[in-house]
Chains A and B, each alone.
Chain A
């Protein structure tokens, strides 16, 4: 048993964080450059979960948490899962089925979409260019289409767990980003002649953010290892990871705005970017109460 990353994993994690901060800073999340996906593709981020890459789920969660910390495009999640379980390359948008239509997230230049339909994962081709508008999460273009007539189910039930796990990793990154933004601001911003982080009311808000992020990250690692080990409880552990990560991302998103005070609720500042992303992630393979209570 060892739930700490090894040296190689830490090196990959650091390299990912460095690349993200250079090419995809969080502060640019509301208007990503048109060439970003191409860059991600060239660097290999879109294909890193393909079977021939031989990356285990534990390493993936480390890297996706870093990508999530910078609010990377959500199509990386669907593309990664498609690469592992359908063998297809190229951008796959993320599909969120609703009652009478399907929301297509981050579908620009995608030829197909992938999402959870019923209790399994399915793929379908996208016809032509979608007319996308902006969504709550400004980094994610949104389009609506009618339910496709032919969807192709992905046979392996682990594919759905994989999407849930990677989305949990994104949410952990999002919770981390909000925590760090809040702590940095609390060290810098002065009120009553002191940094606001001196005051316990603010310090404890920040500490709770750290606790939520740490709890979610530990469970994320455990869940990834359970999936790698084909553990019989893997589905539960992944659902638990998703639940805790979603909550950490949402609660930290809210707390971050509070720590920032007046500037925190403006469009100019960045805290709302994390909150909005957290709201989006909670609808991707949510961890239902029933799944967590199943024996």
Chain B
């Protein structure tokens, strides 16, 4: 075990830092997805042109083919430089792309991967359903096979960026009468296809970042199935393992900035003299350090064995709850200024309200606890 960096890694870090210093946009990213879409696309294109998109993606599809450690270094420096969130490109870069790299056909990869990296194609997820949520195997949206097409009917919900997306990673039931995780398929869906209606949903923060999607006899070519008909569960699980693993490195750096800002603020307004507040800040500073240690341990595991350890769910759960504790503290330090919140504003209250998503999206904190109990401790399955 050691925490040192090789000279090559240190050079790479310096390279990242220099480019970010010169290129991070001065203007802020608009908060609402519809307002931010042009900004998100332009920023992604700039990252791609300079070689910073897909650092550990294969070079055949526009990536750099570098190591996961270099990807981590980039994400750390990215967050430290206060570079904008990749926003609408999140699903394509963090879920869709990595899933295609692992499971897609040569044609699918050659068409979609470069477009994702260049910010030309915005992707959204199509997993959750009104009746299912975190119960991914409860999917009811169905695709009936007709000739060389799937005819899709049903609906999806909580679909981030659906109203600004071009493509969707859609999981549906392609085998009539199949149960739970059997008979599902993972399909690339053109979100502009006839028969699709997208209804944006407003969040309690005032932003519209996600939407409900309805499918009425939508026709999708069978050639868009990824990983084979009926293998949707397996493909979807590989998508989620990215989300629960290294997808949260930037969050970790963001949290370490947040705790330092909170301590500075509590010193400035004197609230640090309250022992309970000082104690909570000390605790969170220790916890933020531990998140970094856990992330490094997880990355070390990937480098050593080729896959993230079973503790990825631990990181996911702990990070999401710690983030919310930080957001609550920020609001506590504001005092009654919380009352002045205006819909859609970019301040501590906005972060606090948006932060409720962290323990719900991508499997609720309760689902993560089930996973940890069953996979890490070997307790019997509740479901």
Contacts and interface: CB of A to CB of B under 8 A. Distances in A.
Given A1-B4, A203-B369, A204-B366, A219 B379 contact: no
Nearest to B284: A292
B16 to A, nearest CB: 16
A206 B366 contact: no
B2 A229 contact: yes
Interface string B1-37: 1111100010000000000000000000000000000
- The main secondary structure of chain B at its interface with chain A is helix
Nearest to A61: B1
A224 interface: yes
- A224, A231, A240: residue with the most chain B Cβ atoms closer than 10 Å: A240
A208 B285 CA distance: 20
Contacts, number: 153
A206 B275 CA distance: 31
B186 to A, nearest CB: 28
Interface string B357-383: 000000000101110111011111110
Contacts of A226: 3
B263 interface: yes
A221 B293 CA distance: 8
A186 B379 CA distance: 7
Nearest to A2: B300
B346 interface: no
Contacts of A215: 287, 290-291, 294, 314, 318
B314 A237 contact: no
B72 to A, nearest CB: 9
Contact of B285 (A4, A228, A293): A293
B263 A293 contact: yes
B102 interface: no
Interface stretch (A22-30, A84-92, A192-200, A267-275): A192-200
Contacts of A123: none
A101 interface: no
A236 B275 CA distance: 19
A276 to B, nearest CB: 23
B2 A58 contact: yes
Interface residues of B, number: 49
Contacts of B297: 3-4, 218, 221
A141 B257 CA distance: 45
B281 interface: yes
A4 to B, nearest CB: 4
Contacts of B317: 211
A287 interface: yes
A292 B69 contact: no
A222 B286 contact: no
Nearest to B321: A211
A207 B372 contact: yes
B278 to A, nearest CB: 5
Nearest to A287: B286
A130 interface: no
Interface in B270-302: 272, 275, 278-279, 281-283, 285-287, 289-294, 296-297, 299-301
Contact of A2 (B2, B263, B278, B289): B2
B120 interface: no
B372 A240 contact: no
Nearest to A209: B377
10 contacts: A58-B2, A199-B382, A200-B369, A200-B370, A206-B373, A206-B377, A210-B373, A218-B293, A222-B296, A292-B282
Interface of A: 1-6, 9, 58, 179, 183, 186-187, 194-195, 197-200, 203-204, 206-208, 210-211, 214-216, 218-219, 221-222, 224-226, 228-229, 231, 236-237, 239-241, 243-244, 287, 289, 292-293
Question: Lowest 8 CB-CB distances: which A-B pairs, in order?
Answer: A240-B286, A222-B293, A197-B379, A292-B282, A203-B373, A218-B293, A219-B290, A207-B372
Given A218-B293, A243-B282, 7 more contacts: A4-B301, A187-B380, A206-B373, A222-B3, A240-B286, A244-B290, A293-B282
